[in-house]
Amino acid sequence: MNAALEVLGVSSPCVVSVELDAGEHRRVDARRRPIYAPAETVSGTVSVRVKSGRPLAHRGIQIECVGFIDGLRGRRHTRQELLSVGLRCEEADVIPAGEVRRYPFAFVDIDKPYDTYDGINVRLRYAVRVTVQRPQPYHPIVEECDLAVQQATPPPDLNPSIRMEVGIEDVLHIEFEYSHSNFHLKDVVIGKIYFLLVRVKIKRMEIEIRRRENVRGLHSELETVAKYEVMDGAPVRGESIPVRLFLAQYPTLTPTYRSVAGVFTVKYFLNLVMIDEDDRRYWKQHEVFLWRDAKDMA
């Protein structure tokens, strides 16, 4: 798996690339990043190819494995470092024009404690970073290759069912239930909706999966990450509608995160929405707990 990118800028005399020892069978996430376990070794090879025409004078080349949380506070971007382990692979030198130098690396027994996360106001990243220090007045050449970290968690001890009602007096009365309230990321949400009183013309019903991201209690964002149509057409009193929602079809779902490094939390909700012929919306939501099972890692 190769993540090579030419460093931009007409004055850059070299191309830096990072090739991870990921292998053909390593899983990748929705952003095509190779997935590692929290304590797994990250290894590979860095290549520095000097362009033809002139040599590259540098003051040292360093390879790091880094992890950090990028957030947005007001209009300011913030960064909290989680991990920084470096290897000095070459001291100051001059690399002739046209030459390619390769530097194998391995970061062993480093703790990558949290899952990778890409949210609205916060992002948790891990990367292999290469820095080629250059003499003044030149800026260093920096290249990063992202990787993902995922870990399985044990199932919750209790998994109660969900049962709720939606009602408008003398107009609408609906009961709905889901078989349980905790789901792994490849689980199936199974439920049933009962129409006990219907005096309004419902034209459509859908289930939304909604995610609430809260950053340090200052920024709270609610987004709809999935929609599933349950019914198209008007129901009648006494009718019941089954629900089977396959979570595996939504690759952007993450586990519920109660607190990540004291910076952010992520919660999920199942939201039942009904739209009548006048486009009025009736809805009811309930929090659910999502977790990553070992079978989700297969």
Tens digit of each residue's pLDDT, the chain (298 residues): 444 433 344 568 999 999 999 777 889 998 999 999 999 999 999 999 999 989 999 999 999 999 999 987 666 788 999 999 999 999 999 999 999 999 999 999 899 999 999 999 899 999 999 999 999 989 999 999 999 999 998 888 999 999 988 877 777 888 989 999 999 999 999 999 898 887 888 888 899 999 999 998 677 889 999 999 987 777 778 888 899 999 999 999 999 999 999 999 999 999 988 888 888 888 889 999 999 998 877 6
What is the pTM for the complete model shown?
0.86
Considering the domain architecture, whether residues 47 and 107 belong to the same structural domain is answered as: yes
Asked whether 191 and 154 are in contact (CB, 8 A), the reply is no
Considering the domain architecture, whether residues 226 and 143 belong to the same structural domain is answered as: no
The pLDDT score that the predictor gives to residue 267 is 97
Q: How far is CA 36 from the centre of its chain?
A: 14
Query: What is the pairing mode between strands 141-149 and 35-36?
Result: parallel
Considering the domain architecture, whether residues 144 and 221 belong to the same structural domain is answered as: no
CA 69 vs CA 36, 84, 127, 293: distances in Å? 18, 12, 12, 24
The pLDDT score that the predictor gives to residue 281 is 85
Sign of CA dihedral 293, 249, 145, 78: negative
Considering the domain architecture, whether residues 175 and 95 belong to the same structural domain is answered as: no
Distance between CA 39 and CA 28 in Å, rounded?
Answer: 17
User: Burial, 138: exposed, middle or buried (Cβ in 10 Å; 0-12, 13-18, 19+)?
Assistant: middle
Q: Count of domains in the chain? A: 2
Q: Quick check: is 68 in a domain? A: yes
Q: State which of 149, 171, 196 marks the end of a domain.
A: 149
Considering the domain architecture, whether residues 9 and 95 belong to the same structural domain is answered as: yes
Q: Quick check: is 93 in a domain? A: yes
Instruction: Residue 88: give its domain's CATH number.
Output: 2.60.40.640
The pLDDT score that the predictor gives to residue 66 is 98
Structure token digits, residue 249: 């079809």
Asked whether 257 and 69 are in contact (CB, 8 A), the reply is no
Considering the domain architecture, whether residues 61 and 194 belong to the same structural domain is answered as: no
The pLDDT score that the predictor gives to residue 245 is 94
The domain of 132 spans 2-149
Distance between CA 87 and CA 171 in Å, rounded?
Answer: 69
